[in-house]
Amino acid sequence: MRICLLTPEPGHPLLAATTALLTPRHQVESLDPGATDPAGPDRLADVYLLKARTPRALALARRLEARGAPVINSAAATELCQDRSRMAELARAAGLPFAVTRTAGSIGELTGPGGLPAAGFPLVVKSRHSRRHDLVAKAEDLGRLEQLARDWPDEPVVVQPFTANSGWDQKLWVIAGQVFAARRRSELAAADRGPAQPLTPADLPADRLDLVRRVGAVFGLDVYGVDLLDGAGEPLIVDVNAFPGIRGQAGAPEALAALALRAAAEGPASRGTAGTGLPGQPRAGAPARADA
């Protein structure tokens, strides 16, 4: 099999470990979407792993899909997870316990007349479009919101009510239905976040595992992460990420290698569409062996 990594960082720990499992029995190569001909390679690989989220990477993935190549995750699902407004809309429409989310073209829209009432604080302000070094901040009052408006004057944002919690996020990652988990200090924590603390699926209630797997079905994702807070009475989803790093999780490279081989063997024809209308919905099935 020929497996291609769409990434500028093929040495990322998850990808490097997956590559080591697949070779030399299978051919693993990488393409940097930022340095590749936009038309894509002349000869298609059997499967592509999309570990990049730039517009150029998404455009390349779409061209590969149009030529019949299986791409994990699909370009459409990856792009959707970069738009926190669309993410919240889809999740809540599907009945997932996602944080109530309001969208604004800029923070300034929220500070003037008709903006947020004092009773709306504290709240969490995030860049609408998820990317490296984007805005994620807590606003305790109008003064803090006005400061953020000055620092990020033209930034489209979403705002969510702040949920009182322990200061730790539950980070859950899924590869083809297999769940990995850890606890990590919230991005809103004043102290250094430090390393993630491992959890095992046995540490989580069964309904929590069912919930994160359902996220994949709703969003049409094979490889993804879900950030959870313990809300009042039920867990609260605050973010969904397509193809996150999943560092330091035993078994994750093996799960990714098996997924790549299964997708390559099945081809694009067997990958149906989700009820949400997203292409590339993964088809359930037992994982293949990485040494097959």
Q: pLDDT at position 269, please? A: 54
Q: pLDDT at position 51, please? A: 97
Domain that holds residue 62: 2-79+249-270
CA distance to 49, 139, 158, 170, per residue, from 122 (Å): 39, 6, 14, 21
DSSP reduced 3-state for 80: helix
Quick check: 167 pLDDT over 70? no
Domain co-membership, 51 together with 32:
yes
Domain co-membership, 231 together with 94:
yes
Q: 127 has which bridge partners? A: 157
Candidates 67, 109, 82; CA nearest to 267 is: 67
Domain co-membership, 90 together with 68:
no
Copy the structure tokens of residue 94: 């599907």
Looking at 111, 130, 161, which one is the last position of a domain? Answer: 161
Q: Average the pLDDT over 27-55 and give the result.
A: 91
Candidates 160, 175, 230; CA nearest to 18 is: 175
Quick check: 74 pLDDT over 60? yes
Q: pLDDT at position 292, please? A: 47
Quick check: 132 pLDDT over 90? no
Domain co-membership, 212 together with 89:
yes
Instruction: Read off the pLDDT band of 282 (50, 70, 90).
Output: very low
Q: DSSP secondary-structure letter at 251?
A: T
Residue 278 lies in a domain: no
Quick check: 261 pLDDT over 60? yes
Query: For the chain, how many structural domains are there in total?
Result: 3
What is the C-alpha to C-alpha distance for residues 261 and 280, in angstroms, rounded to an integer?
16
Copy the structure tokens of residue 148: 């953020």
Q: DSSP secondary-structure letter at 281?
A: P
Neighbouring residues of 54: CB distance < 8 A, sequence distance ≥ 6: 33, 34
Residue 210 lies in a domain: yes
Copy the structure tokens of residue 181: 């988990």
Q: Which amino acid is at 285?
A: G
Copy the structure tokens of residue 149: 């408006």
Instruction: Read off the pLDDT band of 78 (50, 70, 90).
Output: very high
Copy the structure tokens of residue 57: 């990477």
Q: Which amino acid is at 22?
A: L
Quick check: 270 pLDDT over 60? no
Residue 209 lies in a domain: yes
Domain co-membership, 7 together with 75:
yes
Check residues 18 and 120 and name the one with the higher pLDDT.
18
Domain co-membership, 157 together with 138:
yes
Quick check: 119 pLDDT over 80? no
Domain co-membership, 260 together with 205:
no
Share of the chain above pLDDT 70, in %: 85
Instruction: Read off the pLDDT band of 200 (50, 70, 90).
Output: confident
Quick check: 36 pLDDT over 90? no
Instruction: Read off the pLDDT band of 35 (50, 70, 90).
Output: confident
Other C-beta atoms within 10 Å of 164: how many?
Answer: 11
Q: DSSP secondary-structure letter at 98?
A: B
